[in-house]
Structure 1
Amino acid sequence: MILKRGHYLAPSYQTYDFNDFLVGTTKYENPTETGVWHSHEKPVISFVLYGSNNEYRKGKEIERSGGAINYYHSHELHKNIYTKFPSKHISLEIDDTFLTKYGLTEASIELAVTKNHDARFTFIKLLNEAEISDLQSYNSIEMLFVAFLENSLNSKDDLLFPQWMLSVRDLLNDRWDENISLKELAEDVNVHPTTISKNFRTYFQCTLGEYSRKLKIDRSLDLLKSKQYSLTEIAYMCGFSDQSHFTRVFKSISGYLPKEYAKV
């Protein structure tokens, strides 16, 4: 089965057409029979917002859960069996006109997706802009996507990371709910603070503070979806001093207010 531009197998989906590309969301609210072999007419980037599914492609089975991002060439055969509900994906279908405008190929898009380890907030912001859908949305989505591609293609592979920078990354991820000072971080990895400051953006395309805040907000996403905690509780659980600080940072990183994201 070949799905035409803007068409999906999900029982519930929404599309936002911006000519050069099309943003789509697919949602599986309840257990339903899935697993139809299909392909897409256009190249597609698929991002798992939440939920989980098992994908079958190129003779392999891969589990895809929240935060997973995949690239599919046009007419590339695959199937997905959903295992956790509700599940929601964000899709970006790319037209040849966009590739031509920026001198890109399908191979370069695929490489950018393969190398990217921080796609979640780009695609959440992209969805937010698509839902706003005003005269500025096309420019905003285009800028977000181009920046995503540039950051991915210019990012260094893990093999090129110095060991001390890998230690910095691991420490920040392990202690994501703490506010670790640059001095403490430098002492723990036995590197001068200036060395970390000068090199951090080269490897992570953001500042140390931005990276730490993203980790905290990333952890809050599932808590918001669970609807088990108040915003104040989530703020403290994720290492913020108060709810207002949490709300400001969440909005700046995702484009949504926390209560808005909980309803997505």
Structure 2
Amino acid sequence: MILNTGIKVLSSLIILTCFSLKNKRFESRSESLFQKQSDTIISKELEEYIKEERKYLDSQCVTETARAQADIKKGKLVYFHYFGMVESYRSNAEMDVLLKQKNIEVGTALYYCTVPPELQNCYEDVMSKEIDRKFGPKFIDSLRHIADVQYVKKNIDKVYDFEECDTISRYPGSKSYGDFFKDYEKDFWKNVHYPDEFEYRKDKEFYSSISAKFTLHKNGTVSDIDIDLTFQNKKNYKYSSYFINEIKKFIKKTKWIPAKTMGITVNSRVPLTLFFK
């Protein structure tokens, strides 16, 4: 279908182009005719293609819905991991075991951005609704929670990314997760002073900053401190060692609160970013 469309459009374009070259005195007229007919051909072919595709998808959805209903009558249930979400769930292996204990099979599915949502994954949607009907709407979420706890317990010595952990403050004295990001920077600059010849930021669109990442262990100790420093004004790089030493001292003397994930204390990687004036 697409190949035939391309050939038809190409042929029409060649004919119209030849016509315009042979008729110089009608150049402006032929150019407008060329554009108009080309657009008409393309839009008609595209419209026809969309109609045919819609018919096919409608037919597929009806078939997949019927297949799912037939499988359910046979006692078959399938839970689907959707592509694009699979890697975001660290506990899929544990989840699969729990599902199979409930006699629920496991599969994978894709989302297509070019296909109307109501016409894709029709088999999967029917199965999802049946699982909710049979076990309750909170069943999958409760199972995922159990799977996540199992995963953490199996990987208790792993160093977790900051985002994998519960939203609790890692900084002492901060009342909330949000305060964490403001309080450590405020306290750092209370005791760190700019050198006399430090050149402050002039361009408001660009920032100078110093970033640090470190491993915060379950017992509260820190290790593996990495520092990255960027100055808008290159003359300030002569103060690099001063600021690097200051942030290392700040990290080491702070009594950080170990992270938790699923309520379990774990090792984590902590990022800090501080901006210069």
Q: Which has the higher helix share?
A: 2
Higher relative contact order (CA 8 A, sep 6+): 2
Higher radius of gyration, 1 or 2: 2
User: TM above 0.5, one fold?
Assistant: no
Q: Which has the higher strand share?
A: 1
TM range (shorter): under 0.3
TM-score, length-scaled by structure 1: 0.18
